[in-house]
Amino acid sequence: MKLVLPLMLAASMLASAGEPPDNTIPVLGIRINRNLYPELAGVTLGHIITLSWRHFDGVDAWGWASDTSTTNAAGSCDSIGLLLVLLPAEMGSFIEPSEPNGLWFRWSEQDLEDDSAFVHPALPYWDGLDSARIAGAMWDTVQTRMNDLDDASEGQPAYWFFGLWDEANTNQRAHMVMADTSAQYGEYYGYFPDMFTQARSRVDGTPAMEEVDPEGVFSWLKSAFDNTGTSIPVTTTIGTLLTYDTLRYPALDTIPHANGTLADMGRCVRAIRDMTFLGPSGSQGALDAPDLICFDRYPFRQVDIHVESHMGDTCWIYLVD
């Protein structure tokens, strides 16, 4: 009987796992590979079936789409009708310091036609630049990697969407503040990750977060993958921009002003809604907004091991809320 059960379960679910039913809020099991970059080797069919029994509609993972363990996990999800959301390392490698294409960004001080349109920071302090690329070379690199991603994901109907740079908005805003105020990091730290422009508020000088850079790596990756003809949408997950009340939640330390406000978060959402793409040819920018935007909301999550939290205390209640 146990051997027949997975087949019965598959027959009772959706014929295609790649899109949730209308008017539903799918429940996803996040980071099923426990962030063991970049493999999903520990994710088995039994693991996937167990999650489905607990009423999960899908799973979320981080890994190379071209890796055998990822394609196996995608096949397992499809076999029982579970959605699979992937943060492909083919995209994430552009913000990984150890990757050849990691950390390159669009240098706004130079025109797109200049030899230093894209640059790489001097590490570890981002206080200088150590190399440059022309826009055409950067675009060729992005296109090649996105074509590889399309080839790797073709024929995998379980994929719902690909996530591009999880919580890039909160990370870049914090880095922009640190670039302006920190004695440790240099002026170029605010370009990481290369999603929003470098504009600051005219009122208080804080990051404006009002425009996704149409010439930035984030925009180029999304557009290049869309142009492959794929049916898999690309989006990003918005982290909450909110400066915590440390008197009320003393366990949640924060960099002053780095986490922003809900008004800043609203500007981020509008910027993504209105984002455009401007390619190396310098042609008119085209609207390139994602089909959907994700927000981080956890009904419950494990508290970091460095945070002292007990069931029912203020920190724990905040996380549950």
pLDDT bin (cut points 50, 70, 90) of residue 39 is: confident
Residue range 152-170: mean pLDDT, rounded? 94
Q: 129-133 and 118-121: which strand pairing?
A: antiparallel
Q: Would the pLDDT of 283 be above 70?
A: no
- What span, in angstroms and rounded, lies between the C-alpha atoms of 82 and 169? 29
3-state secondary structure of 221: helix
Q: 105-106 and 83-88: which strand pairing?
A: unpaired
- What pLDDT shows up at residue 258? 62
Q: Where does 32-67 have alpha helices with state H? A: 45-53
CB 226 within 8 A of CB 279: no
- What pLDDT shows up at residue 308? 55
CB 96 within 8 A of CB 112: no
- What span, in angstroms and rounded, lies between the C-alpha atoms of 317 and 306? 17
Share of the chain above pLDDT 90, in %: 59
CB 81 within 8 A of CB 158: no
- What pLDDT shows up at residue 316? 45
Please report how many Cα atoms fall inside a 13 Å half-sphere around the Cα of residue 6, on the Cβ side: 14
Residue range 182-209: mean pLDDT, rounded? 94
pTM of the complete model:
0.84
Share of the chain above pLDDT 70, in %: 80
List the single range of 82-91, 121-130, 141-150, 255-264 with lowest mean pLDDT.
255-264
Average pLDDT, the chain: 83
3-state secondary structure 232-249: CCEECEECCCCCCCCCCC
- Backbone φ, ψ for residue 309 (5° rounding): -145, 140
Please choose, from the candidates 66, 60, 275, 22, the residue with its C-alpha nearest in 3D space to the C-alpha of residue 166: 60
Residue range 171-176: mean pLDDT, rounded? 94
Omega of the bond leading into 124 within 30 degrees of 0 (cis): yes
- What pLDDT shows up at residue 136? 96
Residue whose entry in the numeric block shows the structure tokens 């030899």: 115
Helix axes 5-12, 45-53, angle to 10 degrees: 60
Please list, residue by residue across 101-115, b when 16 or more beta carbons sit within 10 angstroms of its beta carbon and e when fewer do: bebbbbbbeeebeee
Q: Percentages helix, strand, coil for the chain, rounded to the nearest 5?
A: 30, 15, 55
- What pLDDT shows up at residue 55? 82
Q: 286-287 and 276-277: which strand pairing?
A: antiparallel
- What span, in angstroms and rounded, lies between the C-alpha atoms of 32 and 84? 10
- What span, in angstroms and rounded, lies between the C-alpha atoms of 86 and 81? 16
Q: 105-106 and 234-235: which strand pairing?
A: unpaired
Phi-psi group of 201: left, alpha or beta (phi > 0 → left; psi -120 to 50 → alpha; rest → beta): beta
In DSSP terms, 162 is beta-bridged to: 86, 234
The model's pLDDT over 68-113, given as tens digits with 9 standing for 90+, comes to 999 999 999 999 999 999 999 999 999 999 899 999 999 999 999 9
